[in-house]
Structure formats: C-alpha cells, structure tokens
Chain A
Amino acid sequence: MLLVLSDEHKEHLGFLPKVDPAVVGEFGRIAVEFLKKGSNPKIYEGAARKLNVPSETVQRGVEGLMYLLTESSKLMISEIDFQDSVLVLGFSEELNKLLLQLYLENRKEVRQILSELAPSLPHYRNLEWRFDVQLGSRALRQHVKPAICLKLHLESGGTQTARVLQTDPATLLHLIQELECALAEVKSNHCRRILRNIK
C-alpha cells in the first residue's frame, strides 16, 4: 500500500535535499524526540541560525518528517512500499536510504505512541486480595462470616484508580470458573482460525 503525499507535504520536505545528509539525520532524530516528548520550538531557531534559513522552513521540514513517520507507522507499510512512496519526492539514493532506516528503526515505538491516542476503557493493572472473617457487628455478635476483600487497580488514560470490592467464597469460585471459560475461549478452534487468518 503506497503513501500518498499531498503537495503541501512534498513542499515542506523539499527543504531536506538542500542540506547535508548528516543534518537530515539530525532532523530525523529530532523528529522522533518530538514524537516521544513533544515539540520544542527553540531547537528550530538554533538550527535555522546555523543553516542560515528562516526557522519556519526548518520547522516545516521537521514536521514533514514527523508526519511521514506517523503515517507510514500507522499503516505499517512494507519496506518496498515505503521506498516507492518516497521515490515521488525525487530525493537522492543516499537520502532515501536514510529515510528508510529512520522508518524501520522507529516504527514500533511510533505505533506504541499512536496507540495511546486510541479510545480505551480503564484497563487492568493489578489485583490484591485479603481473606477476612467477620466475627461480629453491631447487629449480630458472635458470628463467623468469611469474606474475601479485593483491591482492583485500574488505569485509564494515565490516571490510576483502585477500587475496593468484596466477595464471598462461593462467588469467588464462580468468578474463577467464568473467567477460566473466557481464557479457554481464545484457544478454541474458532478463535484460532480468525487470529491466524486476519493479519
């Protein structure tokens, strides 16, 4: 599957052949840093002064690289498709190789960063449990009531929550049975067939 680059995008990337390949390599590193930690406009000004070009041009070049990386990683395009997509830009052989290397080295990490943007439910982090026996209460003295106290740690979009829940031994066994059914389902023939065939 080929990447289709817009004219504006091609224009922004057009700055790259005009500089040293080493500088392009540096821009690539900056682009990945910005994807991981957010952008820092001061770096554009520093680079623009050194290269004697307006800082806007540097910014567009780096952002063009970032967009190229995110789009190719999102679609998970193959090596050949990436090379063909980049050919359209008319860059030198050396520059193409550099861009390909940048893509292959960083695509896994970029995909991980992108997946954090996707909608998600609170997900499981940890479960702590405690076995208690209630011996008395205000309403009834001298009784024996076993209970299992659970602390369920969940994480939702960066914030962690913990919910304290309780259950009795009979329900605990029922929960284990139900969840074991769930685990067994992924090993069933139906699921295996789907997991194998949709890739």
Chain B
Amino acid sequence: MELSDSVVKGLQTLADPACFDLKSFSAFTEVAFDSLLSSTGNGVSGHPALKNIDQALLKHCHVAATTFILEAVKQNADKSTISSCLEDVKFDSEKVETFYTSYQINKRNLENLLSSIDRCPPHITDASWRLEYCIKNGHVHKVNQPSYLISFDVENGEREGTSSEVNFSCTLEQLQDLVGKLKDAAKSVERATQL
C-alpha cells in the first residue's frame, strides 16, 4: 500500500508509546472507525481518554488513521499487508492486533459505504400504477379504452436524496410487453447466480 508522507508521520506518532499508550490507542481506534461510519458522533476531540493529548497532533493522527483505514478497505488488504505496513511505522504487536480486530469488525460496513460512492444512471427505487378507462375526450367521443399510467420513482446518484419520477402511459398490450421484458432480465440474473 502506498501512503503519503503526512499519513506515515501520523501513523508514526500513533505508534509512539510516549504519545499514545495502549489504552488511549484503543479508544482512538474506536473513535476513528466510528467517525467514518456514523454521521453523528463526538469526534476525536470530545473523547475523555484522549483529553491529555495535544489537539493539533490528535487531528493529524485522526486524518492519517482514517486515510489508512479507507485505503486498506479499498484495496481489500489482508492481515499480512496491514501488519507489515504498520510494523514499518514501528507499531508494536499489541497495537497491530487492536487495529486489526477493529478493522475486521467494521470492514463490511466500510465496504458498503465505499460502494455507495458511485456514478451511475438514475436508479429506480419503486413503481406505482394507475388503471383508467377513457370514455371520451374533446376530439373523439366513445373512446372506451382502458389504459395504464405507470410511474417509476428514480433516485439521482449525483446529488444525494434528490428523487424524481418517470411517468408514462401504456395500453394493456404494451404493459404486458414491458413486464415480459423485465421477467427476461430477471431470468438472466437467476441463471447467472446458478453458474
């Protein structure tokens, strides 16, 4: 794993027993993982076990640790890669063990978080429908035709939370065609999972 100088310096400080003993390191690791996964939280500065450490140094170490964590998750790093990286910056075996335990516990959630950072076409989340019977309109009387109004709820990936709708009408035959094609897609997904 390639790490920048700033990250290496931060990790070296974390390794230093004069700055972080095992207890404060455990607390720090917990806070670091928490800060990535939850949107609320006190952050490094609020934690009682870390009060005695210089705040500026703490911030630098926090940035270094979170960068390292994300890089490890991104590359799907195994135990030997992480251990060798940490040992290179003079982590002792207890601190490596503490870090790796937290890493294993939180890895799945971090992977989900990273996979949601994505550029993709608008994503369909739901569909609603309305069946109507058209009797007449201003130009033609005695129409007497059923028709469907379909609406797909769509979420745009670029701006979180913005959702819009795709609305269209169709006849019975057209809806049967649409459902048939969606079923073909579902069948191909099922076949792929059985390979």
Contacts and interface: CB of A to CB of B under 8 A. Distances in A.
Interface of A: 73-76, 111, 114-115, 117-124, 126-129, 131, 134, 137-143, 145-150, 152, 154, 163-169, 171-176, 178-183, 185-186, 191, 194-195, 198-199
A9 to B, nearest CB: 19
A140 B73 contact: yes
B146 A114 contact: no
Contact of B189 (A134, A148, A178, A186): A148
The 6 closest A-B pairs by CB, nearest first: A124-B170, A140-B114, A182-B129, A139-B117, A129-B185, A167-B124
Given A139-B117, A178-B127, A182-B175, A129 B152 contact: no
Interface residues of B, number: 58
Contacts, number: 169
Contact of B172 (A73, A176, A186): A186
Interface string B177-195: 1110111111011001000
A166 B176 contact: no
Main secondary structure of the interface of B (DSSP, over half): mixed
A140 B120 contact: no
Contacts of A76: 141-142
A128 B178 CA distance: 9
B140 A111 contact: yes
B190 to A, nearest CB: 9
Interface string B120-152: 111111111101010101111111101011101
B142 to A, nearest CB: 5
A194 B184 CA distance: 33
B186 A169 contact: yes
